[in-house]
Amino acid sequence: MAAFLIVMPTMKTAAWEKRIRAAQPDIDLRVWPEVGDPEEIVFALTWRHPHGTFKRFPNLKCIASMGAGVDNILSDPDLPAGVPITRIVDSSLAQSMTEYVVMAVLNYCRNARFFRDREAEGVWKPVIPKLAANEKVGILGLGQLGSDAARKLQTLGFTVAGWRRSQQPMAGVETFCGLSQFQAFLAATRILVNMLPLTAETRNILNRDTFTHLPPGAYLVNVARGEHLVEEDLLEAIAAGQLSGACLDVFRTEPLSQEHPFWAHPGITVTPHIASLTNPAAVIPHIMENYRRVLAGREAAHKVDCDRGY
Ligand code: NAP
């Protein structure tokens, strides 16, 4: 017996179950916490699993993240050693994320919030927009998602730079590598977009020191993880005029508490972690392909490098 287990305690799983059964009608599909015999579990599809879950399955051959990020999986101190971890790489995820990033950047350049507030007051108050040709966007992380956003922002006429770990040229995008080039990257960035994975190196990377190296009045977009951002440092930087504002999709604690100062802040736009939601219809073919590979003893696609953390 080889069973496929869904472990997504924070989500409704009915749509996933239906599509997985449609893709493979003879599948032995189980949904946590109704695990059955733990020895039969060979493949786990997961999002925000309770830590310690996977160590119970001695024959587990693959842990598949339901999203692009794997930080919650890797932060489990009881992860079974040697079980491959995979993540989602799909053009629909990149397309959705790019739409959000383009929206956030254009809302900033076109003063969308200012005009929404004037509209509510019935006040006619022209303000000159910032034009793409004069704006420099710096993207932290030029991976699957960051590189797609970089290309499309470039098409709109923005000057785009990126920061990554490895030296990989990208046409028309000035690329900065590693900590030695971090400050030079920040100095050339007017709109900072964070698309990094959450790792030991990147946790709290959006902090006071980072903001100090941006040109005064720079704008922040965070679509990666809440733990990248030191929230008090953002509030201080906006109060000091070092940053002009921020658009945030992710938060240290989600949902954002009712009392959180970000909600009412006039310079901060809040969205509830919706920049790029995984679309089951688009990604189930990839997941089922990996399930079949695992059953056949072959290597799964889009494996995460656990030492690197992404
Ligand atoms: P990815 O393909 O793994 O790309 C990660 C990028 O970050 C790579 O370019 C990598 O550099 C760079 N990087 C990693 N660690 C670094 C470091 N210490 N210093 C400099 N650069 C570093 O990841 P992805 O698929 O683009 O996804 C990025 C993140 O987006 C996910 O991890 C997730 O947290 C977030 N996300 C959010 C949502 C949402 O709805 N808000 C949805 C999906 C994903 P190299 O290229 O040199 O390796």
> Tell me: the pLDDT tens digits for 202-250?
999 999 999 999 999 999 999 999 999 999 999 999 999 999 999 999 9
Query: What is the per-residue DSSP string for 110-145?
Result: TTHHHHHHHHHHT-----PPPPGGG-EEEEE--SHH
Provide the pLDDT confidence category of residue 1 given band limits of 50, 70 and 90: confident
- Tell me how far the alpha carbon of residue 149 lies from the centroid of ligand 1, in angstroms: 12
From ligand 1's centre to the CA of 128, what distance in Å? 34
- The full set of domain ranges for the chain reads 3-88+278-295, 91-270
CA angle 45, 88, 254 (to 5 degrees): 75
Residue range 157-197, pLDDT digits in tens: 999 999 999 999 999 999 999 999 999 999 999 999 999 99
Q: What percent of the chain is modeled with pLDDT above 70?
A: 100
pLDDT tens-digit map of 246-261: 999 999 999 999 999 9
Query: 304 and 62 in contact (C-beta within 8 Å)?
Result: no
Residue 70: the pLDDT is: 98
Amino acid at 79: L
Superfamily of domain 91-270: NAD(P)-binding Rossmann-like Domain (3.40.50.720)
Q: Do domains 3-88+278-295 and 91-270 have the same CATH topology?
A: yes
At 146 the pLDDT is 98
Mean pLDDT across the chain, nearest whole number? 97
Give the residue with greater pLDDT, 1 vs 300: 300
Alpha-carbon gap, residue 42 to 27, rounded angstroms: 12
The residues assigned a catalytic role are: 225, 273
Per-residue pLDDT reduced to its tens digit, 44-85: 999 999 999 999 999 999 999 999 999 999 999 999 999 999
The residue count for the chain: 310
- The CB of 198 under 6 Å from ligand 1? The reply is yes
Query: Which CATH fold would you assign to the domain 3-88+278-295?
Result: Rossmann fold (3.40.50)
C-beta of 276 in contact with ligand 1 (< 6 A): yes
Q: Given strand 268-270, what is the order of strands in its sheet? A: 174-177, 159-164, 136-140, 191-194, 218-222, 243-248, 268-270
